[in-house]
Structures are given as C-alpha cells and as structure tokens.
C-alpha cells in the first residue's frame, strides 16, 4: 500500500527483522514438510543465537522448544513475529502482536491481494499502520544474513558473505540468487523477500541498507512499485555513498497480469519508459536480464566507481578481446586505443608479449603468454597514471597456467588497490576457469565466465561514477 515517503519508525525497526533478539513463529508445526516447521529448523540449523518461541495451541514442544498457545502467552519480550497461518487467522495474530508490543511482524502466508483479496490485505496494512507495527509481506519467503547466521523463512541455505544487500519481491528468484551465491561466490550482506509489500516498502529496506556497514551495494528486484516517489527518495539518499541496482519485471503486456497474480503488483498504465524515468531520477542502475542484475551488483559491491573510460584490457585470447570491444561499443561506451589513453604504454607493454602479440587495446599478449608476461603487462597498465581500469582476461590455452595467472592478478590487486582503480576479470572456459572465478571473487575481484558479463560490470562501475557526480552535495 502506498506511502508518501519512507517512514522513520519502520526504518528504525527493520533491525528487528534482520537482527532480532527473539522470534515467535506462529503456525509452528511438528510436521517437517510444513513451512511452520522449516522456519524453526532453519533458524536452529544455521545458528541463530536469540530465543525462538514456537506458537501452536495444540503442541507442547516443537523442535525441542517449549511451544505457546498464542503470542500473548509468551513469557518474555518478542522482537519479531513470523506468521505462517492461513490468511483468515492473520488479523487475530496482529492484534496479539500489538498487545504484546512486538517490534516487527513478517507474514509468509499467501492468498491475499494476489488472488483478489485486496480488501483483506489492505485492512491488515491499515491496522498495522494505525498501530505502528511494521509488517513485511504477506506472501513472502523470508529473510536472513550470513554475517548474523540468520536464516528466517523457508530458505534452504544462506548465501556466502559479501557486499550485496538483496531486496527482492520474488521469493523464487531470491532463492535462486541464494543458490547462485553459494555456488558462484556471489556475496551478500543480507537478503529479504518483500512479497506483496503491503506495508514495509522497498524504500525502507534501502535506507536500512544505506546504514548497514556490511552492505556495499543495494540490489532491488521489483515487480511493481506502489510508492515510486518513496523509492526515488530512498535512492537519492543512498547513492552518494552506495550504488543501487534495479531490475523491473512484469513490464511486458502478458507480464502485467502475471505480476499481479504473483505478488499483486499493479503495472497497468506503466511501461518500461515509466520505470526508466523512475530509475533515472532515483540514480539507480537498471539491469535488463537476471544475469546482468547479479553481475553488475557484485561488481558495484566489490569495486570502486570508474572515473573515466580509460580502460585497458589485457588478454591472452584475441577472441575474448573482440567479443569485449564489440560489446563495449554496442553498450555505447567504445574502448579507446592504447595510444590515445597513454602514448608510451604500448611500447612498455610490447616487452611482455611475443612478436605476434598485439599492443592495441585489447592488449593481446597471445595464447602463449606466460605468468611472467602477464605480470609485466598488468603491472605496466595498472601503474600508468592515465589508465583508470584494468580489465583482465584469461583464456585457457594448452600452455596457460591459469592458477599462476590468477595468483598474479590477486597479488597485483592487493598491491595497487590503494590507487582506487577497478579491476574486473573474465575467464571463459571449463573447470579451471570456474575455479579461477571463485578464487578471484573470494579475493574481492569481480570475475565472470563471459566477456560480455565483464563488460556489463565495467559499464555499471562507470555509470555509478556518473551518478555519484550528479548527486554529490
């Protein structure tokens, strides 16, 4: 439901959603297949340190914990109430939460506005707002943080630790991102599913992320904004210090219906240009595809903004170089020739390649490049005061020592990090490249499996620098 502006009391209380001292799970179940069981199981398994109160009028113990008939019966104070009960029982629980002075309530239950019960949902929202009880959901999957060992919802795993705060309307896509995080070392600071976002809005979680020390980039997956102006306001406050990434789905003609059926998102009368305008005013960087959403948010979370387009690409594979320069041009940011970036650099780099290498840009140090040649070429490039970004690429030829080259990149990154120049990598191929990508990401270097992904990441770093300039106070 619409808000004019992010509300202070909500932002203030979000810490109880992501870092509560005590949680009541209403609808707690002894049956391992039920959501009401999985929530408690997830909290315990991932090491939640606070107190868990199962609430179930027909059980004495659940998962080894004392169960209480209602929220009112819980002896101590309760920060967060997680509700997994049928829709018609939710109002009753909210009344108990208000009486108990609960700080935050999360409604996982589906079957509200998304199936036509807008009145029922709006009544709950109004009740929560009248009583200043912030409500997340309904129709959501949960939230958590790897830094706090906190996994609250029906969520199979925590992500790896990292820079991205993931605020998602879609539960399934949030879960997909968590799975990708584990598998591809896409690091997150916290994550939350918003579902129908009947009360707590994107804007409020964005402002929470702004002040969260672990979050370096805010990624927002949007099916529909009820309160675009609040989103713009929250982004405007955030982007001077942290980038915001947005992906908007459900903009297609048939998607409008599907988005309503999924998270009750209203998109009638809006279109892509409408959201382009919102994200432009917000200073948010818009991703088109899911892959791009993940790729650019990781780069923005790990690397500094890119202050100009003096990018030098160093590769041992001419093909990945060509794919890259084509994609840079296609995206409207053509690469510059090496001699135009820095007149002497080509000669200095020449020393580190065979005769058939090419000191253009991309710098092709050839498929025979040794770790030593890589080291020389990268060092020359990153130290050159005219170069603002090094884009490294490793192609797995039969003579390439991928592991040694990765170690060289990591060493150089650590040595020259103080220069504030982004380093982005591409490593296209089989298992040794997949392993290289994980190792590079663990070292803080955004690395990707295709040239186009890396180029998209670099362009996002440039976009963010321009946004920072625009919003500088």
Q: Which of residues 171-210 bind its own copies (CB under 8 A)?
A: 171-176, 178-183
Could you tell me if 297 and 245 are in contact, meaning their C-beta atoms sit under 8 angstroms apart?
A: yes
The answer to the question of residue 371 lying near its own copies (CB under 8 A) is no
Which listed range, 53-61, 70-78, 301-309, 361-369, lies at the site for its own copies (CB under 8 A)?
Answer: 361-369
CB of 327 to its own copies, least distance (A): 7
User: What residues pair up with 286 in beta bridges, in sequence order?
Assistant: 246
CB of 227 to its own copies, least distance (A): 20
Ramachandran sector of residue 149 (left: φ over 0; alpha: ψ -120 to 50; beta: rest) = left
Q: Which of positions 82-141 make contact with its own copies (CB under 8 A)? A: 110-111, 114-115, 139, 141
CB of 99 to its own copies, least distance (A): 29
CB of 66 to its own copies, least distance (A): 25
Q: Encode burial over 77-109: b for 16+ CB neighbours within 10 A, e otherwise.
A: ebbbbbbbbebeebeebbebbbebebbbbbbbb
User: What is the distance, to the nearest Å, from the Cα of residue 94 to the centroid of all Cα atoms in its chain?
Assistant: 30
Complex with its own copies: residue 99 or 172, whichever CB lies closer: 172
CB of 470 to its own copies, least distance (A): 27
CB of 458 to its own copies, least distance (A): 15
Cα-based distances in Å from 369 to 276, 343, 352, 364, 384: 44, 23, 8, 9, 21
Q: Which of positions 245-284 make contact with its own copies (CB under 8 A)? A: 249-255, 257-259, 261-263
Out of 149, 266, 309, 432, name the contact with its own copies by CB under 8 A. Answer: 432
One DSSP character per residue, 433-461 reads: HHHHHHHHHHTT--EESSHHHHHHHHHHH
CB of 240 to its own copies, least distance (A): 30
Q: Which of positions 323-342 make contact with its own copies (CB under 8 A)? A: 323, 325-330, 334-337
> Total residues at the site for its own copies (CB under 8 A)?
90
User: What is the distance, to the nearest Å, from the Cα of residue 231 to the centroid of all Cα atoms in its chain?
Assistant: 16
Complex with its own copies: residue 42 or 134, whichever CB lies closer: 42
| 312 closest CA partner among 353, 347, 342, 357 | 342
Q: Which of positions 24-83 make contact with its own copies (CB under 8 A)? A: 33, 35, 38
Dist CA 218 CA 203 (whole Å): 11
Complex with its own copies: residue 11 or 369, whichever CB lies closer: 369
One DSSP character per residue, 248-315 reads: E---SHHHHHHHHHHH----TT--HHHHHHHHHHHTPEEPSSHHHHHHHHHHHHHS----SS-EEEEE
Which listed range, 49-57, 343-351, 362-370, 459-467, lies at the site for its own copies (CB under 8 A)?
Answer: 362-370
For 301, phi then psi, to 5°, come to -75, -30
Complex with its own copies: residue 246 or 467, whichever CB lies closer: 246
The answer to the question of residue 373 lying near its own copies (CB under 8 A) is no
The answer to the question of residue 396 lying near its own copies (CB under 8 A) is yes
| 461 closest CA partner among 406, 410, 388, 409 | 388
Out of 358, 373, 388, 463, name the contact with its own copies by CB under 8 A. Answer: 358
CB of 33 to its own copies, least distance (A): 7
Complex with its own copies: residue 23 or 323, whichever CB lies closer: 323
Dist CA 399 CA 366 (whole Å): 11
Complex with its own copies: residue 240 or 429, whichever CB lies closer: 429
Complex with its own copies: residue 404 or 434, whichever CB lies closer: 434
Complex with its own copies: residue 110 or 468, whichever CB lies closer: 110
Complex with its own copies: residue 373 or 453, whichever CB lies closer: 453
206: CB partners within 8 A, 6+ apart: 6, 167, 218, 220, 231, 234, 235, 238, 244
CB of 416 to its own copies, least distance (A): 25
Which listed range, 21-29, 64-72, 163-171, 341-349, lies at the site for its own copies (CB under 8 A)?
Answer: 163-171
CB of 160 to its own copies, least distance (A): 11
Complex with its own copies: residue 429 or 444, whichever CB lies closer: 429
Burial (CB < 10 A; 0-12, 13-18, 19+), residue 307, is middle
CB of 329 to its own copies, least distance (A): 4
The answer to the question of residue 450 lying near its own copies (CB under 8 A) is yes
Out of 50, 240, 304, 429, name the contact with its own copies by CB under 8 A. Answer: 429
Q: Where are the alpha helices (DSSP H) in 80-223?
A: 90-99, 118-130, 171-184, 202-211
Could you tell me if 219 and 194 are in contact, meaning their C-beta atoms sit under 8 angstroms apart?
A: no
Q: Which of positions 307-326 make contact with its own copies (CB under 8 A)? A: 316-323, 325-326
Complex with its own copies: residue 337 or 469, whichever CB lies closer: 337
Dist CA 278 CA 236 (whole Å): 11
Could you tell me if 81 and 108 are in contact, meaning their C-beta atoms sit under 8 angstroms apart?
A: no
User: H or E stretch including 2?
Assistant: none
Residues of the chain by 3-state class (helix, strand, coil), percent to 5: 45, 15, 40
Complex with its own copies: residue 175 or 390, whichever CB lies closer: 175
């Amino acid at each position: 439901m619409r808000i004019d502006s992010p509300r202070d009391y909500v932002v203030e209380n979000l810490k109880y959603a992501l870092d509560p001292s005590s949680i009541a799970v209403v609808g707690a179940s002894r049956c391992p297949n039920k959501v009401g069981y999985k929530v408690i199981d997830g909290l315990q398994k991932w090491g939640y340190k606070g107190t868990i109160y199962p609430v179930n009028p027909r059980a004495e113990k659940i998962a080894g914990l004392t169960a209480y008939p209602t929220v009112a019966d819980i002896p101590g104070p309760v920060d967060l109430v997680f509700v997994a009960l049928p829709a018609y029982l939710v109002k009753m629980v909210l009344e108990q939460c208000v009486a108990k002075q609960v700080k935050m309530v999360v409604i996982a239950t589906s079957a509200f506005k998304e199936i036509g019960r807008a009145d029922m949902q709006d009544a709950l929202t109004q009740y929560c707002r009248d009583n200043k009880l912030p409500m997340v959901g309904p129709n959501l999957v949960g939230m958590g943080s790897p830094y706090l060992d906190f996994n609250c919802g029906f969520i199979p795993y925590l992500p790896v630790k990292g820079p991205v705060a993931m605020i998602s309307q879609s539960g399934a896509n949030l879960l997909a991102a968590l799975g990708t995080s584990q598998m591809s070392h896409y690091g997150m600071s916290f994550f939350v599913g918003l579902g129908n976002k009947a009360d707590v809005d994107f804007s409020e979680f964005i402002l929470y992320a702004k002040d969260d020390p672990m979050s370096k980039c805010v990624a927002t997956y949007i099916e529909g904004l009820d309160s675009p102006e609040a989103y713009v306001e929250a982004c405007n406050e955030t982007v001077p210090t942290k980038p915001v990434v947005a992906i908007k789905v459900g903009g297609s003609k048939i998607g409008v219906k599907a988005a309503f059926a999924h998270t009750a998102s209203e998109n009638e009368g809006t279109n892509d240009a409408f959201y382009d305008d919102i994200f432009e005013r917000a200073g948010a960087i818009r991703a088109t595809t899911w892959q791009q959403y993940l790729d650019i948010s990781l780069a923005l979370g790990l690397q500094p903004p890119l202050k100009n387009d003096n990018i030098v690409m160093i590769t041992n594979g001419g093909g990945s170089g060509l794919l890259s320069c084509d994609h840079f041009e296609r995206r409207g940011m053509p690469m510059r020739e090496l001699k135009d970036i820095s007149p002497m650099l080509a000669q200095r780099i020449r020393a580190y390649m065979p005769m058939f290498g090419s000191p253009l840009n991309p710098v092709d140090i050839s498929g025979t490049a040794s770790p030593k040649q890589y080291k020389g070429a990268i060092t020359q490039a990153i130290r050159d005061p005219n170069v603002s970004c090094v884009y490294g690429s490793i192609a797995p030829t039969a003579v390439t020592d991928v592991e040694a080259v990765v170690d060289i990149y990591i060493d150089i990154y650590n040595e020259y990090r103080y220069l504030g120049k982004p380093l982005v990598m591409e490593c296209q191929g089989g298992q040794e490249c997949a392993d290289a990508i994980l190792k590079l990401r663990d070292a803080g270097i955004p690395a990707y499996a295709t040239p186009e992904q890396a180029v998209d990441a670099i362009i996002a770093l440039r976009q963010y620098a321009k946004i920072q300039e625009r919003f500088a106070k």
